[in-house]
Structure 1
């Protein structure tokens, strides 16, 4: 651990962490520092938005398909019957069912990262609101997770779709790849994510919308990014 700390300290040596960096410089620095670790660190982004999510007209929520994926394999549960259930299985869903799947979840089975449902299943899924809701797993039409096209939703989740939602303080954060990605791939993912946030600007937002952006890796410090280097 001591050796790891020294290597990471050297990687960030001479860097002014209060300075605004172009996204290219920030990504290069993160990758250089992450090379000191023995595992593939996740690269994360955080945006501080000029909104108050407590107001209905200032909420930011949605999903974006990252062009280079997340580097993480999501486990997907799908509530569907008949042909829709077969389509979900063919698309790679990890768990598929109706009442039987509901009973498994009620019994404590939560081995999935994304929950999708066909519209006719919402009466069943609704009973799981107290279980799925607090974990951010409740299917939602606005996020494309309540849909008749369950196969497409499964493919999107498996292919690197990232969901986002502004927290109470107006902060949005998400994983946008792995340190093993090329610099170009990480930059493309970061710009795609920021672009989706920019496109989701709510009608009630006033003044500066994207106030601050920072990127970090699992073991690294946050680096401030110049918004103009990533905004559309």
Structure 2
């Protein structure tokens, strides 16, 4: 732990943790401070002026990051027949129906994203208590309950990320790896911010985007000047 503390202290040298930086500068600062021995994930966190406990203030959706996430995403698909074959051909890692449901019930969840054809939701619905808490329950609003299995699998593999406001009104997502160049991280960050802005709920009052920060897996959080998001 002492070694980690020393590394973190070095990472924050010359960094004013109270200062707000323009988005591009914040990303450059986080990238420079990402000195762990593995390729750290760069994450953006946005504190919104909403109360997710009210249905008309929930923020949830998906966004395709133009440069991907840098993470290998395992996709599971509930489908039968031709749609199961389509899913496999599109690159899905786990495809099935009753046998896949049985595996999930046994705790064998070998996927990061879950897609289902509409006719499978009767079966998948019984797995809600298992998939729901893990954020894996297919949802038509997120494009994960669809007949376009090929498109859904391809989008998930290409770097599509889901977002959902937590109780405190915070949404966050990984926007790439520290090994990405600054331009690609910035493009991904802007795509995420724009998706959150488009998802502004009708019940949101006052200031919508209150605070924004960027960080890496093992690095310090860097505050972002909210006004720079529209630049």
Shift of 1:30: 1.1
Match of 2:20 in 1: 20
- Once the two structures are superposed, residues 128-157 of structure 1 have per-residue CA deviations (whole angstroms, 9 ceiling, x without a partner) of 011101111000001100001011100000
How many correspondences in the alignment?
Answer: 231
Asked if residue 32 in structure 1 is aligned to residue 32 in structure 2, the reply is yes
Shift of 1:27: 1.1
Q: Distance in 2 between matches of 1:201 and 1:187?
A: 21
**Quick one: structure 1 residues 120 and 22, their matched pair in 2 at CA, closer, same or farther if it must change by over 3 Å?**
same
Q: Is the CA contact 2:69–2:174 (under 8 Å) kept in the aligned structure 1?
A: yes
Q: Secondary structure at the match of 1:70?
A: coil
Match of 1:113 in 2: 112
Shift of 1:119: 0.4
Shift of 1:5: 4.4
Shift of 1:3: 5.6
Shift of 1:6: 3.9
- Once the two structures are superposed, residues 158-184 of structure 1 have per-residue CA deviations (whole angstroms, 9 ceiling, x without a partner) of 000000000111000111110000000
CA RMSD of aligned residues (A): 1.3
Q: Secondary structure at the match of 2:21?
A: coil
Shift of 1:231: 3.5
Q: Is the CA contact 2:45–2:171 (under 8 Å) kept in the aligned structure 1?
A: yes
* Segments of 4+ moved more than 6 angstroms: none
Q: Is the CA contact 1:12–1:29 (under 8 Å) kept in the aligned structure 2?
A: no
Match of 2:202 in 1: 203
The gaps in structure 1 that reach 5 residues or longer are none
Q: Secondary structure at the match of 2:154?
A: helix
Q: Distance in 2 between matches of 1:52 and 1:7?
A: 37
Asked if residue 41 in structure 1 is aligned to residue 40 in structure 2, the reply is yes
Q: Distance in 2 between matches of 1:231 and 1:111?
A: 39
Q: Distance in 2 between matches of 1:17 and 1:103?
A: 49
Q: Is the CA contact 1:194–1:231 (under 8 Å) kept in the aligned structure 2?
A: no
Q: What TM-score does the superposition give when structure 1 sets the normalisation length?
A: 0.96
Q: Distance in 2 between matches of 1:105 and 1:39?
A: 31
Q: Is the CA contact 1:78–1:97 (under 8 Å) kept in the aligned structure 2?
A: yes
Match of 1:214 in 2: 213
Q: Distance in 1 between matches of 2:230 and 2:146?
A: 30
- Once the two structures are superposed, residues 46-75 of structure 1 have per-residue CA deviations (whole angstroms, 9 ceiling, x without a partner) of 100000111111000000000000000111
